Amino acid sequence: MHDILKALDLADVNPGGFCGEWLGSGEALESVSPIDGERIATVTQVTTDEYRQIAGRAHAAFLEWRMLPAPRRGEIVRQLGNALREHKEALGALVTLEMGKIRAEGQGEVQEMIDICDFATGLSRQLYGLTMHSERPGHRMYEQWHPLGVVGVISAFNFPVAVWAWNSAIAAVCGDATLWKPSSKTPLTAVACTRIAERVCRANGVDPAIFALVIGKGSSVGEELLHDRRIPLVSATGSCRMGYHVGEVVHKRLGRTILELGGNNAIIVSQHADLAMATRAILFGAVGTAGQRCTSTRRIIAHESIRDALTDRLVRAYAQIRIGDPLDPHTVMGPLVDTGAVRDMMSAIHEVKKAGGELLCGGDKLDGPKYRGGCYVTPAIAAVKNEWQIVQDETFAPLLYMMGYDTLDEAIAMHNGVPQGLSSSIFTTNLLEAERFLSVAGSDCGIANVNIGTSGAEIGGAFGGEKETGGGRESGSDAWKVYMRRQTNTINYSTDLPLAQGIKFGD
């Protein structure tokens, strides 16, 4: 652990605020590993006064940063990606230590950061507007995109570094600064990323406050950020409950939001499915990251003719999952993030049983010397009904619900019959079923897949969902546009002053 912290320039006690200088005179926040319950290091949180100082510096940095040509901004983001490549092993290991992901997933999350930096570098030369034919003679009309300002980034514990990169790399090439408030459960990874970005900025002679950081309480620092009119856009990842509050506060001041909230993701498994492939996809989707992804598979809607066979496959597969230290390369599932997450899972299982559901496997807390006081559980499968409230709610844990269907229309209705709408999938070799699932009458989610699981989205496509998932989009495609302000321009190169719509005003 000492070597990992040293490689990332982290001390035993680290200031939690950055705006070109490091600040943090507030309460101490200990980062505790879910692997064994042991302290990793401490971060001193920022006060509300320090927040205001940091936000002011970020805004000042934005005013300079926006003047750099976009390809120059892209070059600095390219260098950030290279710096992340150099620190991939150590940063990925810190993600594992602090959040509990298995080592391969920790490394994969850092690779996502590298990939989005590569994507953003290319994007820096593609911030295109449009030209339109004017209805007025001697006029030219077009649109252009300008930098927006300081983007507030509120990230969750489950992707402690990637979500920052999705936002900050795109925002940076668009000419924006970012002000990052990470989860209090994973503060060290945020400090480490900010230190890497600081070094890249200083090497290029630009103000490192374009990558500002505030680690502090949501009730104080978080509220300051949401109400801050210097922040025109807030990108927030978290629970639906949190998203409702963020949306209410930011929209009340007519700010913008990107909300990436809960998912209650389902896979429809048809009678025409390849069951071996479906089993592998479900296993990763439900058990990967210990069920703590917003895209984790929560519900399986299986055709009655294959439901029992699929259930048997899954129960056998679950029995073989290696649970334990996520730093061990043979481990498939590490711990939940903290004891609260364990309690939430146990409470959900209790509610399932109370509603009349049947626990098919798993659902135990794991203790003993092997688990060293960490937050370990066995992944669970339960037979349920879709309309039960506990099934309608998202439980952020490896708890998978099984249910059956007779017709595809019934399956799609069950699939869509939850408040969330993030990721979805159908496993079928029937072309008509696949196309129906992807049609306007099919999945109502922001992500819909065929013969692929719900988890593991690529950075090239816009990421986000509908309904209570928030409606936001991050990462690829044209998601960059929300980080900029659109301006329509009309130039009159004639000597006349005609009005639109043929209006005559005076002689």
Q: Active-site residue numbers?
A: 260, 294
Which ranges of 160-274 would DSSP assign to H, the alpha helix? 162-173, 187-203, 223-227, 240-252
Beta bridge partners of 257: 234
CB 40 within 8 A of CB 33: yes
Amino acid at 48: T
Candidates 198, 256, 260; CA nearest to 231 is 256
- Say how far apart CA 271 and CA 278 lie, in whole Å: 11
Which ranges of 365-455 would DSSP assign to H, the alpha helix? 389-392, 408-416, 431-438
Cβ-based burial of 382 (10 A; exposed 0-12, middle 13-18, buried ≥19) = buried
Candidates 278, 285, 265, 360; CA nearest to 319 is 360
CB 299 within 8 A of CB 333: no
- Say how far apart CA 225 and CA 30 lie, in whole Å: 23
Residue 413: Cβ within 10 Å count:
13
**The residue to which tokens 């994007």 are assigned:** 123
Candidates 50, 43, 47; CA nearest to 13 is 43
Give the CA count within 13 Å in the CB-facing half-sphere of 122.
9
Cβ-based burial of 26 (10 A; exposed 0-12, middle 13-18, buried ≥19) = buried
Amino acid at 409: D
Pair of tokens at residue 245: 């509050």
